[in-house]
Amino acid sequence: DADVTQTPRNRITKTGKRIMLECSQTKGHDRMYWYRQDPGLGLRLIYYSFDVKDINKGEISDGYSVSRQAQAKFSLSLESAIPNQTALYFCATSVAGGYNEQFFGPGTRLTVL
């Protein structure tokens, strides 16, 4: 079984709808991250969480919110989706302390019409 899972894998929605993307991990890592990837661009950090009570904004947090329900679960919400949020979204995890290797989920492809 995959260590980092994301649901759904694909989602098509309409402008103005609220969308939640979910991430679960069985690696026992404290840190979790949400990134988005646009064609021709590198990944950009949306939010990151170092533990359940520590949530931080990344480079492009506007229009997004997150919830860290447990050590193993980190959800990303789009309160009112817009077409330029169409992208590939990745969740990642890492152990605590310093700069450590990040492990990624398979991604969620989101299309906002």
Partner 1 sequence: KQEVTQIPAALSVPEGENLVLNCSFTDSAIYNLQWFRQDPGKGLTSLLLIQSSQREQTSGRLNASLDKSSGRSTLYIAASQPGDSATYLCAVGGSNYQLIWGAGTKLIIKP
Cα angle at 22 between 95 and 83, to 5 degrees?
Answer: 120
Is 79 or 104 the residue whose CB approaches partner 1 more closely?
104
CA dist 55 → 67, 95, 98 (Å): 8, 15, 17
Pairing relationship of beta strands 10-13 and 108-112 according to DSSP bridges: parallel
Interface positions, 6-45, toward partner 1 (CB under 8 A): 31, 40-45
Only one of the segments 12-20, 22-30, 55-63, 72-80 lies at the binding site for partner 1 (rule: CB under 8 A); that segment is 55-63
Interface with partner 1 (CB under 8 A), residue total 24
- The partner residues of 91 in beta bridges, in order of sequence, read 34
Tell me whether strands 87-94 and 64-70 are parallel, antiparallel or unpaired: unpaired
Q: What mask, x for binding partner 1 by CB under 8 A, covers residues 69 to 108?
A: ---------------------x-x-----xx-xxxxxxx-
**Could you list the residues that contact partner 1 (CB under 8 A)?**
4, 31, 40-45, 48, 50, 56, 58-59, 90, 92, 98-99, 101-107
